[in-house]
Chain A
């Protein structure tokens, strides 16, 4: 059903691109998305979650918005939200887009027409979303379980970082704190209570106090997250350029909340990569960014598949996917392999991506060969998170920059 309905910008393109048999690496967008799902599906099927099903619903919802069937889009998103509240991260983009582009009309130059407000549309949206929530939450409200339910959904007690650290800003923060602690204790600058220097990546879900830097509370993360996503929402409100800008705002919301939220799961990176894949076929810069974030993001999921017999599976899947997408996008935008850099990427980016190879070698071979598994069991996790956090932060800033660089509507108006 999904593949039939899935008509994002890319699929008509596919038909117009002749695909030569000799180089079947040229991306057909659907193949690409299918391949993109490989790691996701290995995550779903080995780690066991229903991400494939949920991602399908998300894509369905985005597709409906592309088709300007906004009510259906809102309906599917509300369903999705009630299936897994991780999608709350991207809800602001939906809210702003639907309010701005469904309930209001625009002038030819893109400014909002305040007089065009349609209460009927707003009310119908509200009814659809609220009725989905009523069906979902109704029984619990009726039983008086709402507060208990919410406390399960938003576990502020669980700690700033998940058991395996998601590669976000707080990893960098933690590492900075740790580094400061170590150097401080070395130079005796700070009297540190010994019981607070416990290993942070204990593999346990727990709260953790920073030593040098101020400790972070859930409220702080909420504020920072809101600050991080506000500019993207503002941009979407002031200069909406059709569904593509909606997807950009969606990705930025996912990015912002991934970077700064409380207790982020590393799986949430899929929420960034999936919608971003819808944009990669249009602009070289987006494709470039997508290559970085998808490689790093997929690699950051490796610690989830930790058993020995899963190593060949995850390595093969990542390699197949990465080779395919680098070659495919590189060919599409007229770049080929060279010795100095990967297709589309700058030298620094290439170096960073290739750095994943020694990192993985260290994690799966050298670390245990050195006999450090006992003494520093979580060092590979820490390294992976830190290394990937650098890439994710870079991609986030760059994507923000690219989105604000987008040309005003007039030049692209013909495309609409």
Chain B
């Protein structure tokens, strides 16, 4: 027990260390006026929220130019920004001075911002990861610990939060806590936590369908308790949480609509930069944006996303179980990532969170997904000056992962698994080759975006296949043959354990033996 706590502490410390080393790098938009990047956005939100009354936060005014990084996340982010602004103001008022602090950059301020992310990470995400793996009953302690380590070390999240600069760890951590609660049967607390996540970042909607259908399904599946009563309870709790978060904006319809309009910006375009989803990859062949109007595109996105989410949602609704729920989290968020409107490349972190939950059970496919998802953000990371951090973290991650979950071939495995392994290594090689090309090869002058487009198409292909794979896994739960299950488990091989007792005598004995 003591050992386990100690190992968890050491794992946490290693993760803090690595996060801090990444945070010594530049953030997005460092020294790039006039717009800077996400770092400036977060600072600007602190400035706005700390200096203006709550009602003004989402409104365009002479004090609050929404064209300059206007607040476009739900109220919880705004409150968090206020807290950051409060401390920033008390440390150095210049950091959040209204209007005069635009584009403020200094070493001290960078330290402050980096500490604020680390703090959020350690307070929300770390405990969530610990609790999740701790309550998995089917796993050995060593697997739990390894899973915990590998989930915390996922390079994508570290690079985006501590390099690029965002607070994804909070919304993802809250979602993960909600998953923990649902797994433990505490549906009401889980609902509250997920609503909080949703109110921190609207992107958590990617996960909303599984939560919705799992909770709804479980209301009607259990014969013991009154399903309708439970539904009412959950509904009330959800409404209450939303009301609490949105309280300042609920006095009139107009301000609530203004927040909604800010949070769901239809006018922003189909996708941002080069993102590895269907629409961006299709744009190489078909110029959708020229064929259809914005409204038509939005409807097209809505319909395709809905169709893509449907199988896993209906399956979960009819047969609610935690295993299906966790797979549905991947399926739903991947469907949103691939098909929905205005997707950021960073949004891949949302499906990645759900994939991380399967690290100990399905080591190879999880690693595959996690590597490709981080790789899909490469152009963004290069833009932020995080190339060295990216390469270092990827190497550390893959090497550690492979040594924690050895993937060496066994003679008894089927040809199918052998093929999978071969494709896995091929795909990693492809990613490596594209990384080198992106960094070292000059693209032809008439195709300046050649490598970013190739990277997004390459990653998109992977994500589509992963989408099909995880859908297959979810839909075949229960009907799956036991042999296939075992096959999956065979991927992980354990070194046989030996009991270990060594006192001083044993040591001297060993020494003596060696010396002779």
Q: Identify the A interface with B (CB < 8 A).
A: 9, 12-13, 16-26, 281-282, 284, 308-309, 312-313, 316-317, 319-320, 323-324, 327, 331-334, 336-337, 414-416
Contact = CB atoms under 8 A, between A and B. Distances in A.
B268 interface: no
Contact of B514 (A12, A316, A414): A12
Given A312-B17, A313-B17, A320-B13, A18 B498 contact: yes
A12 B140 CA distance: 30
Contacts of A336: 2
B500 A23 contact: yes
Contact of B21 (A313, A319, A331): A313
Given A21-B495, A323-B13, A414 B510 contact: no
Interface stretch (B4-12, B181-189, B208-216, B255-263): B4-12
The 4 tightest CB contacts between A and B, nearest first, are A316-B17, A18-B498, A334-B503, A312-B20
A414 B512 contact: yes
A20 B498 contact: yes
A324 B504 CA distance: 19
Contacts of B3: 22-23, 25, 327, 331
B176 to A, nearest CB: 23
Contacts of B111: 308-309
A332 B494 contact: no
A385 B311 CA distance: 67
A118 B411 CA distance: 60
Contact of A22 (B114, B497, B504, B516): B497
B511 A13 contact: yes
Given A16-B514, A19-B500, A25 B6 contact: yes
A88 B14 CA distance: 36
B258 to A, nearest CB: 39
A20 B510 CA distance: 17
A17 to B, nearest CB: 7
B504 A284 contact: yes
Given A308-B111, A332-B502, A333-B504, A13 B512 contact: no
B141 interface: yes
Contacts of B118: 312
A337 B17 contact: no
6 contacts: A309-B114, A313-B20, A333-B503, A334-B504, A415-B512, A415-B515
A414 to B, nearest CB: 7
B6 A323 contact: yes
Contacts of B495: 21
Nearest to A307: B107
B110 to A, nearest CB: 8
Contact of B500 (A20, A284, A316): A20
B16 interface: yes
A324 B9 CA distance: 10
Contacts of A281: 507
B513 interface: yes
Residue with the highest number of chain A CB atoms closer than 10 Å, among B504, B507, B510, B512? B507
A281 B502 CA distance: 12
Contacts of B21: 313
B239 to A, nearest CB: 42
B499 interface: yes
A57 B20 CA distance: 31
A319 B500 contact: no
Contacts of B16: 312, 316
Given A13-B511, A327-B3, A20 B497 contact: yes
Nearest to B512: A415
Given A317-B17, A327-B3, A21 B514 contact: no
Contacts of A334: 502-504
B24 interface: yes
Contacts of B24: 309
Contact of B497 (A12, A16, A21): A21
B10 to A, nearest CB: 6
Contact of A13 (B2, B9, B510): B510
B142 interface: yes
Nearest to A332: B502
A187 B140 CA distance: 69
Contacts of A416: 515
B7 A25 contact: yes
A327 B8 CA distance: 13
Q: Which among B118, B141, B494, B514 has the greatest number of chain A C-beta atoms within 10 A?
A: B514
Nearest to A26: B500
Contacts of B500: 17-20, 23, 26
Contacts of A333: 503-504, 507
A323 B5 CA distance: 11
Nearest to B114: A309
B111 to A, nearest CB: 6
Given A308-B111, A320-B17, A16 B510 contact: yes
Given A19-B500, A324-B10, A415-B515, A282 B2 contact: no
Interface string B105-117: 0011001001000
Given A312-B16, A316-B13, A327-B3, A22 B142 contact: yes
A362 to B, nearest CB: 20
Contacts of B140: 22
Contacts of A323: 6, 9-10, 13
A245 to B, nearest CB: 14
A337 B2 contact: yes
